[in-house]
């Protein structure tokens, strides 16, 4: 069964460093999302992406964050200058049919900022 994959599974970085989290969505999906989950808390929406552009972003998704689909298969989340409060699990999700349809989540990347 097709699945969303994410790399790395765990990333440790120093405050102020840039990180890139990578995702490979399900191959025929067109709608892509990033969510994050701080340990023990709820899942929070960061950004949605369709047709090579951001369709919506949350207040969390400030100028330090960016997303890109550099080729036909990868979907990346970049954090330019990490802060301690960016430590969280970051989930990529994809959907074949967009709004009002199921989103499939990847296994997540645990980001630890020291």
Q: Is 81 helix (H, G, I), strand (E, B) or coil?
A: coil
By CB under 8 A, name the one of 11, 48, 82, 87 that touches another protein: 48
Beta strands in the chain (DSSP E): 5-7, 10-13, 19-24, 31-37, 43-50, 53-57, 65-68, 75-79, 88-95, 104-105, 109-113
Is residue 11 a contact residue for another protein (CB under 8 A)?
Answer: no
- Out of 11, 26, 29, 31, which residue is the one contacting another protein (CB under 8 A)? 31
In this structure, what DSSP letter does residue 84 have?
A: G
Interaction with another protein in 54-73: which residues (CB under 8 A)?
A: 55-56, 58
Which residue, 14 or 53, has its beta carbon nearer to another protein?
53
Least separation in angstroms between residue 56's CB and another protein is: 4
Contact 99, 92 (CB under 8 A): no
Residue 25 binds to another protein (criterion: CB under 8 A): no
| Contact between 32 and 93 (Cβ < 8 Å) | yes
Residue 20 is classified by DSSP as E
Among 1, 62, 71, 102, binds another protein (CB under 8 A): 102
Binding region for another protein (CB under 8 A): 31, 33, 35, 41-45, 48, 50, 55-56, 58, 91, 95, 98-108
């Amino acid at each position: 069964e097709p699945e969303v994959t994410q790399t790395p599974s765990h990333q440790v970085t120093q405050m102020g460093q840039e990180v890139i989290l990578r995702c490979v969505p399900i191959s025929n999906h067109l709608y892509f999302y990033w969510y994050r989950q701080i340990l023990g808390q709820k899942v929070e929406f960061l950004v949605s992406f369709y047709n090579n552009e951001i369709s919506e972003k949350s207040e969390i998704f400030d100028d330090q964050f960016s997303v890109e689909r550099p080729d036909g298969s990868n979907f990346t989340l970049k954090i330019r200058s990490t802060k301690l409060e960016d430590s969280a699990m970051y989930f990529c999700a994809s959907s074949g049919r967009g709004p009002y349809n199921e989103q499939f989540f990847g296994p997540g990347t645990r980001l630890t900022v020291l």
